[in-house]
Structure formats: structure tokens, C-alpha cells
């Protein structure tokens, strides 16, 4: 099991600060002023439905269904930021490429399609930029041991109920 981001919908206020922090962390210039709508490519997305909002990111699946259906086999579960393809046909294929839970995005610029997924900001010693930027601490990195402990607690509560 891999580490992944988890969001607490009860804390999320839908401000999209995590998206901005992610986009800045993955651009050449680490300055928010350098962001533009043409190149805004966060690897995390805030999803809103009614009164609820929460952040969605790649779950870092070991069996990665997105990798198994990649139209040209250029994406693998171990890639840190996704795969890229070139050409108009590839860009068209990338547009329909299944992305479980809406957690991945595909951007197309100059006939180049690139699949973007959360890489847990592997390039940042301090960890994911979105976690650090969230004003309500709605995001955190879930580690396998913690997830296993939570599952054990839930199983115990159910058994005692």
C-alpha cells in the first residue's frame, strides 16, 4: 500500500487554496504571480456538490487502473507526475482516457497531451504543498500503517456494536 492524500470534507471550505499551492509547486517559477489560466495545472482538484466540497487527488493505487487502460502504454503507476503523448490522435485519445475518481487531469498544449497526477510533491522536502497551504487542515498524507490502524479500529467498533 502506498501513501496518498486524504481530505476531510467536514473541514474543507472549497477555497481551492490547495489547487493554487499545487500548481505553484509544479511550475518552474515558485511564484504565485507567475500563474496564468493557460498554464494552471494542479494535480489536486476541489469538487463541490451542494454544501459539500472536498479535494480529490490520485490515490497512488498499487494496481493503478488508469495505467492499465492507458491508450498508448506510456503511463505507469510508478511515474511521479504522469505520462505524456504527442500528436493530434494522442491528444484526442487522452481526452477520453479513464481517470478514476476524477483524480487525474489531462492537459493538451501544442498537440502534446500530458496526464497529470499527484506526486505527493516528491521534490519538496517539507511534503505536499497542498497540505501545507490548506487553511483548515482538511488535507493530510495517509500512510499505510495509519490506514491499517483506522481500519482495525472500525472493525473493532463494528464487532462490538
Q: Where are the domains of the chain?
A: 1-60+120-161, 61-117
CA distances from 33 to 12, 98, 130 (A): 25, 33, 17
Residue 151 confidence (pLDDT) above 60: yes
Helix (H/G/I), strand (E/B), else coil: 73: coil
Residue 44: the pLDDT is 92
User: Which CATH architecture describes the domain 1-60+120-161?
Assistant: 2-Layer Sandwich (3.30)
Residue 65: the pLDDT is 73
Mean pLDDT, all residues of the chain: 80
In angstroms, the CA 46 to CA 125 distance is 24
Tell me the percentage of the chain whose pLDDT exceeds 70: 75
Residue 92: the pLDDT is 47
Amino acid at each position: 500500500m502506498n501513501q496518498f492524500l486524504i481530505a476531510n470534507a467536514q473541514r474543507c471550505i472549497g477555497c481551492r487554496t490547495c489547487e493554487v499551492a499545487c500548481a505553484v509547486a509544479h511550475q518552474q517559477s515558485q511564484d504565485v504571480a507567475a500563474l496564468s489560466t493557460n498554464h494552471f495545472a494542479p494535480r489536486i482538484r476541489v469538487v463541490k456538490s451542494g454544501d459539500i466540497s472536498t479535494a480529490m487527488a490520485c490515490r497512488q493505487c498499487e494496481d493503478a487502473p488508469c495505467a492499465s487502460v492507458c491508450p498508448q502504454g506510456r503511463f505507469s503507476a510508478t511515474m511521479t507526475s504522469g505520462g505524456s503523448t504527442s500528436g493530434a490522435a494522442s491528444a484526442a485519445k487522452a481526452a477520453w482516457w479513464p481517470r478514476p475518481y476524477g483524480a487525474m487531469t489531462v492537459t493538451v498544449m501544442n498537440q502534446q497531451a500530458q496526464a497529470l497526477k499527484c506526486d505527493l510533491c516528491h521534490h519538496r522536502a517539507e511534503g505536499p504543498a497542498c497540505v501545507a497551504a490548506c487553511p483548515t487542515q482538511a488535507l493530510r498524507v495517509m500512510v499505510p500503517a495509519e490506514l491499517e490502524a483506522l481500519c482495525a479500529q472500525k472493525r473493532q467498533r463494528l464487532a462490538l456494536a
